[in-house]
Structure 1
Amino acid sequence: MRSYLCLGILFCCLAAALNSASAEEAQPYDFYADAMGYDPASGLYTARGNVRIEGEGLIITADQVSYAPDQGIIHGEGSIVMRMGQDRMEGDRLVYHLEEQRGFFENGRLFISESQFRVRGRRIERTGERTYVVDDAGLTTCEGERPDWEITASRISLTLEGYGTLNHGAFRIRGLPALYTPWLFFPAKTKRQSGLLLPEIHLSDRHGYEQLQPLYLALSESSDATLYYHFMGKGPDRLGLEYRKLWSSEDRLTLRLDGLKDEDPTQTAVQEGISRDRYWFRMKQNLAFAGGVQGFMDLDLLSDIRYMDDFKGGTLGFTKTNALFQKEFGRELDPEKEDTRTNRLLLTKTGEVFRMEGEVIWEDAVRRRTQDLQDDTVQRLPRLSLSTRRQRLLDLPLYHVFEGESVYFHRIDGERGTRLDLAPRVYAPFRLGPISAEPSLGLRQTFWHSENPLEETSSGYHTENRLLYDARMDLFTEVYRVFDGGPIGADKIRHSLQPRLTFEYVPDKDQNHLPFFDDLDRIEKKRRLTYSLTQTLTARFKEERPGEEGPQDTYRDYMRFKISQDYDMDRAETRGEKPFSDPKAELSLWPLPYVRLFGDITWSTQEAKWSAYSSGAEITRDAHYFYAEHRYASEISASLHLRGYLALREDLGLLWDYERNLKEKIIQKQDYGLRYNAGCWQLDLIYSDDKDDRKIGFYWTLTGLGVLEHSLDESFLP
């Protein structure tokens, strides 16, 4: 079947190029040549030497051309080249009817710029408005007379936006036939078309031999679907569906559903809540309504907590699905290991000075649901909010903002009820010489109406309220100096110091009797001073840019260093408590355009030692890529992550992705591979091993035709 898939792709290349010619309507043409003549007997115009014929969207050059005006036919010989935009067709002899837009090339060669396809044929003929015939055809994206791979056929006949036939087709490697089909009937459409896609194939310890076969369905101009059949040598087969609908750039939907029926789950699986029907449904949708109202829907429904771990690779796996949603919607899924999956519908309306939101959130606690445990997960059904932007208060030197929220909290087991929260705030910014000051005062009024059915003494719904105020003062400034560029080649270097001091105050208020749904229900007292210092180095270069006069300014960051710490006045007045928080420093360096160094470190004031740190480097130069990061948190975790690609030659390289838990001395992930890139094709051989499964697979890519891949994510590949 693979031969049919590869050979069937030939129609896409020819149809795309030839279709551009079919769209051209008859236009007036201009003729240029070194010498031109006319033969009254035959009625032919002749042109010799640097012949050039131009019409809208079409340029023909040749050594010699004759033109019969009564027939509208051009005969061309010698180095004939026809250009249609960036595409190019050439041959030894051309016969072409300008008005009817039909004719043929002998020993023709066609280059399609967008896809880099090269098509050849002993004769490439356009027989009608949408019909073509190519004799002794060949297709490749490789250069040279003997390409690394090529699809050949004795004859191809096709009708654009219709169907075509291929006779005696073969897939050849370095001229040697590897696959053959005597005849192939295929759809000759330049638009989206239904059909089988290249499969994913890999071997693993867990599932044995696997093949994921996709079937693409073009349902309409604005919607399509892909059906998946996942064969597994060990275990039941899996089915999948992907559906996409596009109404506009702001109104679109993508969903994926896959699952299987496990007729014989293990006893351990049953105890973990894994049923016979296993599935994962995820969907994201953007909605556009009248009046500027926007909607965002996220659904994530999982049959059991082990499903994503059992099927984490391939197109339907977590990483590729998450990357798809991030690319199309700018929103990600919950983390792969998170067993509480968020389902949300959000409606927003934004004006010049306000923003309104209406939201429904259901947190699906998969473990509690499948194992029949008590579920006190908080749901928001719904949440309504109104906020305003900072704006001037009358003609006073004051600014104000407002945030208001009303939420109904629901629990399957536990307290539930409604909360109304109103929070206005006033700012009074001013300057003290070079220092900017911004004092602000906030007021928060909160009401609850709730009940707890699990309490034996509960008498139904009851009402509570709380009134709090808070105060804040921000002081900040910037001091900088500009130096000459010095040895780094910059024109100027700007060194900036940005100190900031913030004081926050919240009075002490007993709130233990209030309902508790989230952190807003317990606002702790606060008398906290936060101070930080940020330093930056920014270089300015003078560079010449094509199309612009004189040198232009470009800027590049060299260094960013920030150190911060808190001082808690309440802790200072409490015996045994240390008022200073653990100071933290963060550093980013770009010593060279292709090098980034980064790290952060935290000092424990209580234990008098470094409590946490991380450091890393990222290097990207030419085809080489290297990333390394080490993280450490005292008594909690330690890890090492290495990822990269090393180009041994222009066409050969090593790639790797390695993660290790240093605290538990466990390898979390290790992928090692070899990549060979011949320009028009590429092969990646990869061995993958994590703590649960091992895989051996490959990426085989024919440039322009697609990729035959294993289930390993390609996200780490450079």
Structure 2
Amino acid sequence: MKKTCAMLVSATLMPTVAFAQETTKSALNTASSAVPLELCSAEPIAFSSQSLMPKGHVKVEANRTEIVENKVALFSGNVDITSDSATISASQAQVNGNGKDLIAKGDVTYQDAQLKVESDSVSLRSEEERLEMKNTRYQLTGFVGQGAAQDILLDTDTGIVLKDVSFTTCPDGEEDWLLRASEISLEKGTVWGQAKHTRFYIADVPVFYLPYFAFPVSNERQTGLLFPELTSSSRTGVDYTQPFYWNIAPNYDMTISPRVMTRRGVQLNTEFRYLTDNSQGKAYVEYLPSDSDISGNPDRYFYRLEHQGVIAEDWLLNVDFNGLSDNNYLLDLGSDYYSRADTHLYRSIGLSYYSQNLSVNMQIKDFEVLGDTADSYRALPELKMRYTTSLGDYVEFDLESEIAHFDNNSSTAPTATRYHIAPTVSLPVRAAWGEFVAETTLFQTVYQQDNVEGTNLDESVDRTLGQARLYGALYFERETSFFSNDMSMTLEPKVQYLYTSYEDQTAIGFYDSTPLLTDVEGLFRGQEFTGLDRISDNNQITLGVTTRTLDKNNREQFVLSVGQIFYLEDNKVIAATKNQDRSALAAEVDWRLNDRWFLHTDVQVTTETDKVDLSSVGVEYRKDDSRFVQLNHRYVRDLSGETIDQIGLSASWPLSENWHWVGRTYRDLERDRSVETYTGIQYESCCWAIRLVAQRSLNNRYNEGGLQNTDDFDSGISLQFIFKGIGSSGARRNMLQDGMFGYRQPYSLN
């Protein structure tokens, strides 16, 4: 008889029930992330697969078993049926017709890896492949999601029908919100289900009704409405976005998102994505006809094209192309790709080749410049090549070369074509105790410059420079108890001698070069400019040292780095002239004071005057992921002629079990004014949340002449409701990341 039961349950009952629970779960559109247990009075149920039987086997246990004429089997008293995928328990069970029919009654419970169902009775007819469950309650395994159905009917031919069904992610007896439907039907072989007379309840009050709707019942992408977004601000007014997803093909799709703004009108946002065997990309377009908040009601738009693909073996094609209608588009309407502080939108097309020794990169680089910002040079085109190889066992050879043509939108600006080649021969020695590198490089650069009348530039410039570099570092480590037991400390001194010959470069324009900010690691870079238009002459020694304290798991607890350059000769390149015999002293500290306090700071101090040129400090107290306070300060004495002196305070803290607060403020000490103030408060239970956010920040709008107004502020308030299980889950992290500055950890300890 046990063999007959095994065939019946494993071959008929289990696959049918598995299909039922899987489609039911999809139909109810549950959330994909677990809910914090501390917010819920009921924990999600668990299921262990270790108690299941091997595939194709079943075990039946009962207090009493009776077989009648080898046709009927009766089981009573704590009946447990275990198969290879699920378990059934009941007060009694009866198998009729030599295994053709099964009836289980009395506190029937079915459970598998995804669902637990409790019902008054279960009836299975194997010949008809039909399963019926009466007066059921179900829970989702691993999630706080549960509901009830008066009848669950499963049929192999037609699928599943649930009558008088409900669903919520709230605990039983605390249903703050609830979905009810008179019937949900899922036809077998289709990816869609149907729901009739669906009502959405909040605190037993019906707030929404749909007589009929269809929904996806599989993990496959399906066409349909996505979760909407509702915000409010002084820039847009009440702002409502309703995305619609169109599954065009397995490797093509589109999201169409009408956006209604009470102050500006209706905007249409579209995103088209594609994926092939060798490429992927997207086309994104935003279009707002007749902006009602601007005089003249202009049309406004933003677009972005992205493509990455393999066009042949070792050859890659990359496209990143952006454009917009006006200077204030990002400020007024926002963007998922750029911030309100950006002044350039990049446009580039690149073709790259990579092999073991050779890499080639061809690019066309352009910019969309916002406002009266100094126009940047475009590289139309730029070709870079790098070849590396070993010359014997100890010597390495590196050849870098470049051809680039620089153009500018200004008709009076010079243009140039640059040819550059830089062979390097090096002798590297690397080991666990340290490293040593000796190298020499020849820089050969030729410029052909046009439109140089009335300037100090020459039409043709040939520049030849030589460079020699010696670099050495040692790594010492020993056990220590300076901070605590089971600690180790490292000492990593390093020294570099760098010599670069001098040549007058005033006849060369600035096309892709600008001074670099220097940190401790940058002291050993040997170059003070980006690009190649200026290569500073050097005769200098750089000294640096780093010490680390590591715990028994090799996790850094304390890192201190200090470095300085000592100039043996005055620098002659005009743009890099120095009036002292040493650079600013650069230092950087990362310190995990304990499990809750963290400190990061870096500073550059001019030793002759003891003036701070650059500094940043970040201190954070972190009790856990939801409780922290962060204070940071940033200072730059001279950044493009301006002094940066800003202080910021960020905090995230629960006010009670269900209430959470996030706040952030940044202040410009140089101008004695606020830059951004941001605060949000959220109430969150295990099944719903409400979030209120207020923000005030600098507007930085451009006037008609392209100049920015740095005195106006923008403010806004947004209110958002979240029902977990039918959209996104509530998260304070969203509030932390919103705003101009967002939240960043101030330390880099591993």
For normalisation by structure 1, the TM-score amounts to 0.82
Which of 650, 661, 669 is the equivalent residue of 2:657? 650
Which of 254, 263, 267 is the equivalent residue of 1:238? 267
1:440/1:282 CA distance change after superposition, 3 Å: same
| Equivalent runs, 1:253-272 vs 2, <5 Å | 253-262=281-290
1:675 matches 2:682: yes
Stretches of structure 2 that go unaligned for 5 or more consecutive residues are 1-22, 31-54, 514-531, 699-712, 744-750
Using the TM superposition, give the Cα deviation of residue 61 of structure 1 relative to its aligned residue in structure 2, in angstroms: 3.1
Give the distance between the partners of 2:432 and 2:730, measured in 1 at CA.
64
Which of 682, 700, 716 is the equivalent residue of 1:695? 716
Give the distance between the partners of 1:688 and 1:585, measured in 2 at CA.
35
Tell me if structure 2 keeps the 8 A contact 1:115–1:704: no
Query: Match of 1:513?
Result: 507
1:525/1:557 CA distance change after superposition, 3 Å: same
1:498 matches 2:492: yes
Q: CA RMSD in A?
A: 3.4
Using the TM superposition, give the Cα deviation of residue 73 of structure 1 relative to its aligned residue in structure 2, in angstroms: 2.5
Using the TM superposition, give the Cα deviation of residue 307 of structure 1 relative to its aligned residue in structure 2, in angstroms: 0.7
Give the distance between the partners of 1:434 and 1:138, measured in 2 at CA.
67
Stretches of structure 1 that go unaligned for 5 or more consecutive residues are 1-9, 18-26, 323-332, 541-553
SS at match of 2:506: coil
Output the amino acid matched with 1:60.
Answer: I
1:538 matches 2:554: no
Which of 188, 198, 222 is the equivalent residue of 1:169? 198
| Equivalent runs, 1:353-364 vs 2, <5 Å | 353-364=357-368
Give the distance between the partners of 1:701 and 1:170, measured in 2 at CA.
17
| Equivalent runs, 1:148-159 vs 2, <5 Å | 148-159=176-187
Query: Match of 1:590?
Result: 592
| Percentage of identical aligned residues | 21
Give the distance between the partners of 1:233 and 1:61, measured in 2 at CA.
58
Q: What do the CA deviations read for 1:212-237 (whole angstroms, capped 9, x no partner)?
A: 22222222222222212222222332
Query: Match of 1:337?
Result: 341
SS at match of 2:175: coil
For normalisation by structure 2, the TM-score amounts to 0.78
1:87/1:292 CA distance change after superposition, 3 Å: farther
SS at match of 1:382: strand
Using the TM superposition, give the Cα deviation of residue 49 of structure 1 relative to its aligned residue in structure 2, in angstroms: 4.1
Q: What do the CA deviations read for 1:385-432 (whole angstroms, capped 9, x no partner)?
A: 22234x43124x322222122223333433334322221111124599
Tell me if structure 1 keeps the 8 A contact 2:263–2:293: no
1:432/1:280 CA distance change after superposition, 3 Å: closer
Output the amino acid matched with 1:630.
Answer: H
Give the distance between the partners of 1:202 and 1:533, measured in 2 at CA.
51
Give the distance between the partners of 1:432 and 1:229, measured in 2 at CA.
60
1:526 matches 2:526: no
Which structure ranks higher in relative contact order (CA pairs < 8 Å, sequence separation ≥ 6)?
2
Give the distance between the partners of 1:432 and 1:678, measured in 2 at CA.
56
Give the distance between the partners of 1:343 and 1:358, measured in 2 at CA.
14
Query: Match of 1:418?
Result: 417
Output the amino acid matched with 1:693.
Answer: D
Tell me if structure 1 keeps the 8 A contact 2:28–2:167: no
SS at match of 1:560: strand
Give the distance between the partners of 1:576 and 1:289, measured in 2 at CA.
49
Output the amino acid matched with 1:588.
Answer: D
1:433/1:555 CA distance change after superposition, 3 Å: closer
Tell me if structure 2 keeps the 8 A contact 1:539–1:556: yes
| Equivalent runs, 1:292-691 vs 2, <5 Å | 292-312=314-334, 317=335, 321-322=336-337, 336-367=340-371, 377-389=376-388, 391-395=389-393, 397-412=394-409, 413=411, 414-429=413-428, 436-448=435-447, 450-453=448-451, 455=453, 464-484=461-481, 488=484, 490=485, 492-514=486-508, 516-519=510-513, 520-540=532-552, 554-571=553-570, 577-622=579-624, 623-634=626-637, 636-691=643-698
Output the amino acid matched with 2:671.
Answer: E
Output the amino acid matched with 1:444.
Answer: F
1:714/1:287 CA distance change after superposition, 3 Å: farther
Which of 142, 150, 164 is the equivalent residue of 2:170? 142
SS at match of 1:385: strand
Using the TM superposition, give the Cα deviation of residue 70 of structure 1 relative to its aligned residue in structure 2, in angstroms: 4.9
Give the distance between the partners of 2:456 and 2:669, measured in 1 at CA.
50
Output the amino acid matched with 1:647.
Answer: P
Give the distance between the partners of 2:591 and 2:687, measured in 1 at CA.
38
| Equivalent runs, 1:76-91 vs 2, <5 Å | 76-91=104-119
Using the TM superposition, give the Cα deviation of residue 97 of structure 1 relative to its aligned residue in structure 2, in angstroms: 3.8
Output the amino acid matched with 2:450.
Answer: N
Q: What do the CA deviations read for 1:565-598 (whole angstroms, capped 9, x no partner)?
A: 1122223899992111111211111122343211
1:227 matches 2:256: yes
Structure 1 range deviating more: 130-139 or 584-593: 130-139
Output the amino acid matched with 2:103.
Answer: H
Structure 1 range deviating more: 44-53 or 496-505: 44-53
Tell me if structure 1 keeps the 8 A contact 2:560–2:589: yes
Query: Match of 2:276?
Result: 247
SS at match of 1:521: coil
Q: Give the length in aligned residue pairs.
A: 647
Using the TM superposition, give the Cα deviation of residue 117 of structure 1 relative to its aligned residue in structure 2, in angstroms: 2.8
1:185/1:426 CA distance change after superposition, 3 Å: same
1:567/1:91 CA distance change after superposition, 3 Å: same
Using the TM superposition, give the Cα deviation of residue 138 of structure 1 relative to its aligned residue in structure 2, in angstroms: 0.9
Using the TM superposition, give the Cα deviation of residue 15 of structure 1 relative to its aligned residue in structure 2, in angstroms: 6.8
1:98/1:564 CA distance change after superposition, 3 Å: farther
SS at match of 2:308: strand
SS at match of 2:392: coil
1:713/1:689 CA distance change after superposition, 3 Å: farther
Using the TM superposition, give the Cα deviation of residue 40 of structure 1 relative to its aligned residue in structure 2, in angstroms: 1.7
Give the distance between the partners of 1:351 and 1:706, measured in 2 at CA.
46
1:290 matches 2:312: yes
Give the distance between the partners of 1:707 and 1:436, measured in 2 at CA.
51
Output the amino acid matched with 1:617.
Answer: V
Output the amino acid matched with 2:118.
Answer: E
Give the distance between the partners of 1:433 and 1:117, measured in 2 at CA.
55
1:92 matches 2:88: no
Output the amino acid matched with 1:279.
Answer: Y
Query: Match of 1:74?
Result: 102
1:159/1:432 CA distance change after superposition, 3 Å: closer
Tell me if structure 2 keeps the 8 A contact 1:598–1:617: yes
Using the TM superposition, give the Cα deviation of residue 559 of structure 1 relative to its aligned residue in structure 2, in angstroms: 0.3
Tell me if structure 1 keeps the 8 A contact 2:286–2:303: yes
Q: What do the CA deviations read for 1:456-508 (whole angstroms, capped 9, x no partner)?
A: 8999x965433221111112112221125x874x5x21111111111111111
Tell me if structure 2 keeps the 8 A contact 1:302–1:366: no
Tell me if structure 1 keeps the 8 A contact 2:26–2:216: no
SS at match of 1:388: strand
1:707/1:28 CA distance change after superposition, 3 Å: closer
Tell me if structure 2 keeps the 8 A contact 1:198–1:708: no
